[in-house]
Amino acid sequence: MKIAVIGANGQLGCDICSAFLADGHEVIPFNHDVMDITDLDRARAKLAEARPQVTINTAAMHNVEVCEAEPLKALKVNGLGARNLAILANELDFALFHISTDYVFDGRKKSPYIETDYPLPLNAYGNSKLCGENFVRSIALRHFVLRVSGLYGANPCRAKSGMNFVRLMLKLSRERDEVRVVDDEVLTPTFTEDIARQILALSKTSHYGLYHVTAQGSCSWHKFAAKIFELTGAKVRLQVADPNEFAAKVARPKYSALENRNLQEIQLDLMPSWETGLQNYLRKIGALY
Ligand SMILES: NC(=O)c1ccc[n+]([C@@H]2O[C@H](COP(=O)([O-])OP(=O)(O)OC[C@H]3O[C@@H](n4cnc5c(N)ncnc54)[C@H](OP(=O)(O)O)[C@@H]3O)[C@@H](O)[C@H]2O)c1
């Protein structure tokens, strides 16, 4: 298959390119300097030239604080950019994968969210991503909308200065005797390679629709940090931070664990537990104890 990957040099985009290349597909990577998804005409020209059978959009404005400060820009990229690709999916006849987020939920449910749960974003980022989801779901005839959560991968996250939570914990454990992490935010951290493998599997089907694609289980940031230190043998004291110690400037869901219910229903849930994903990631970056 011929696959176009948008945001190809991003944290998730790099792993998607590698997964499809390793499976023998032709991959056409698009970085931001070549294709801006907010520019419909340019995106049309690039995709018409490439003629992909599948296009995977990982591009987003997803720094939560920046989105809150610039909500119209966030809406333009995450909402209207996704709409542009949905229009092109029909015009140019490709299946569209679009990456969304757990931040479409408000976190009040306290048990894993499934795809039919009502989204109610708390911030501009979540609102703009929900808008993008809705455009893709209502316009693109062949779409896969994937909600992911707490990404970490071997390639730098471009929107977050190259830093993911695992790398930050490893850095702090080298620099300090004590690290303090909040215990009141629960999610499912997910290794980007696992998502890439899941996308590859879905791309071989015509089970179009909305999917939660996260590792199995859930943990607080504190529990995740504890596992990181255990698996890397880091000699650092881990303490629970006071809920207001790192008071976030922007409201975020306190609970955003997702259940991969729709993947289970089509018997294609390949996602490992969050502990296994972390172990594989640490092995990959040479940090496993
Ligand atoms: N990271 C997380 O924890 C997390 C959690 C939940 C959901 N997500 C979602 O997962 C997806 C991938 O995240 P990631 O961590 O891989 O992000 P990333 O490393 O920041 O990569 C995003 C990519 O999108 C490109 N991009 C940004 N704006 C663009 C535009 N207008 N047109 C074309 N390309 C553009 C970026 O290029 P430049 O850097 O050159 O601008 C970059 O290549 C996003 O949709 C995000 O909303 C992420």
Residue 163 binned pLDDT confidence (cut-offs 50, 70, 90): confident
Angstrom distances, CA of residue 199 to CA of 92, 122, 229 = 21, 28, 30
Given a contact cutoff of 8 angstroms between Cβ atoms, the answer to whether 89 and 141 are in contact is yes
Given a contact cutoff of 8 angstroms between Cβ atoms, the answer to whether 211 and 202 are in contact is yes
The answer on pLDDT for 164 being more than 90 is: yes
**Mean pLDDT on 260-276:** 98
Measured from the Cβ of residue 38, the count of other Cβ atoms closer than 10 Å reads 18
Residue type for position 44: R
**Six token digits for residue 88:** 């092109």
Cβ of 139 closer than 6 Å to ligand 1, yes or no, is no
Average per-residue pLDDT in the chain? 96
Euclidean distance between CA atoms 53 and 101, whole angstroms: 24
Which is higher by pLDDT, 244 or 179? 179
pTM for this predicted structure: 0.97
Dihedral of alpha carbons 95, 262, 274, 176, sign: positive
Report percent pLDDT > 70 for the chain.
100
Euclidean distance between CA atoms 1 and 219, whole angstroms: 37
Euclidean distance between CA atoms 62 and 11, whole angstroms: 12
Q: 161 CA to middle of ligand 1, Å?
A: 12
**Mean pLDDT on 24-33:** 98
For ligand 1, mutation pick of 70, 151, 212 (most atoms within 8 Å of CB): 151
- Determine the pLDDT at residue 226: 97
The answer on pLDDT for 160 being more than 90 is: no
Q: Which candidate, 5, 87, 3, 1, places its Cα nearest to that of 38?
A: 87
Closest ligand 1 atom to Cα of 157 = 19
Q: Which candidate, 37, 29, 35, places its Cα nearest to that of 9?
A: 29
**Mean pLDDT on 48-69:** 97
Told to judge if 125 belongs to the known catalytic residues of this protein, a careful annotator would answer yes
- Determine the pLDDT at residue 244: 82
- Catalytic residue selected from 125, 152, 211, 281: 125
The answer on pLDDT for 195 being more than 80 is: yes
The answer on pLDDT for 113 being more than 80 is: yes
Going from the N-terminus, what domains does the chain have, and what CATH number goes with each?
Answer: 2-157+191-216+258-272 (3.40.50.720)
Candidate from 27-41, 111-125, 156-170 with smallest mean pLDDT: 156-170
Closest ligand 1 atom to Cα of 37 = 32
